[in-house]
């Protein structure tokens, strides 16, 4: 019954809504430190304090605040209006394809685990502070690349070539633009390929109860951690609003 009620579109929209919700909360918590500029790259930039409070990842939150749960929460935080717009547009497009090809449950598994893997690699390589859904999105892109290469044929080859072009763009973008978490992108991408190989896709293996159970378990854990990140700093929110 639960399986029928949960659709791929609902999961995707819920993830987007959660990202937008946490972006708004980060703006509120920023208070006077909120950056209101006309520069497209920095317009509506939350304060560093608010992002750390809500679960930004990296060596600073993990080593100094023991925020290991930030490997999850950082996937739902963004550093500017352009940052979240770009990521959510990319996520909606790639996640819709993955949901169709792999199934909605495997899509969520790849999204969450790839994001966590990306931030873990970013932490291990010394990144001080990092946020954004791009590590998880790169995981979905990795799964897309695997699908195209594995499937072959006209459709598979077309998807593979298009995805290779997108990967090249992401690599070049990461080199040219400062403050891009390339390690996070790389960790998410490699994780996405591995998970795609491990879990399979619909044309080779249909989604089953194990995918469902793992996906729902990850959903529950994610919700718990996100609520925990809010409740842990409820006094911060209350003090600001009052």
Domain carrying residue 30? 2-241
Give how many domains the chain has, as a whole number: 1
Least confident of 72-81, 204-213, 223-232: 223-232
Where do the H-state alpha helices sit in the chain?
2-5, 8-30, 48-54, 59, 65, 70-73, 81-101, 104-124, 134-151, 153-176, 182-199, 209-231, 234-241
CATH number of 107's domain: 1.20.1540.10
The mean pLDDT value for 96-117 works out to 97
pTM of the model: 0.91
pLDDT digits (tens, 9 = 90+) for 43-75: 788 988 889 989 999 999 999 888 999 999 999
The answer to whether 135 and 184 are in contact (CB under 8 A) is: yes
């Amino acid at each position: 019954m639960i399986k029928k009620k949960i659709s791929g579109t609902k999961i995707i929209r819920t993830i987007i809504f959660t990202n937008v919700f946490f972006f708004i909360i980060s703006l509120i918590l920023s208070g006077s430190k909120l950056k209101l500029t006309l520069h497209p790259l920095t317009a509506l930039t939350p304060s560093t304090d608010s992002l750390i409070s809500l679960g930004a990842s990296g060596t600073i939150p993990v080593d100094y605040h023991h925020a290991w749960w930030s490997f999850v929460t950082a996937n739902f935080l963004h550093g500017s209006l352009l940052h979240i717009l770009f990521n959510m547009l990319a996520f909606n497009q790639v996640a819709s394809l993955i949901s169709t090809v792999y199934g909605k449950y495997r899509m969520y598994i790849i999204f969450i685990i790839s994001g966590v893997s990306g931030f873990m690699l970013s932490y291990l390589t010394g990144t001080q502070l990092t946020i954004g859904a791009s590590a998880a999105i790169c995981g979905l892109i990795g799964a897309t690349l695997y699908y195209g290469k594995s499937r072959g044929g006209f459709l598979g080859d077309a998807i593979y070539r298009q995805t290779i072009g997108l990967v090249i763009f992401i690599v070049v973008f990461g080199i040219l633009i400062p403050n891009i978490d390339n390690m996070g992108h790389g960790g998410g991408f490699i994780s996405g390929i591995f998970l795609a190989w491990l879990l399979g896709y619909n044309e080779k293996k249909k989604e089953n109860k194990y995918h469902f159970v793992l996906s729902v378990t990850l959903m529950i854990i994610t919700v718990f951690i996100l609520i925990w990140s809010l409740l842990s700093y409820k006094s911060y929110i209350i003090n600001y609003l009052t």
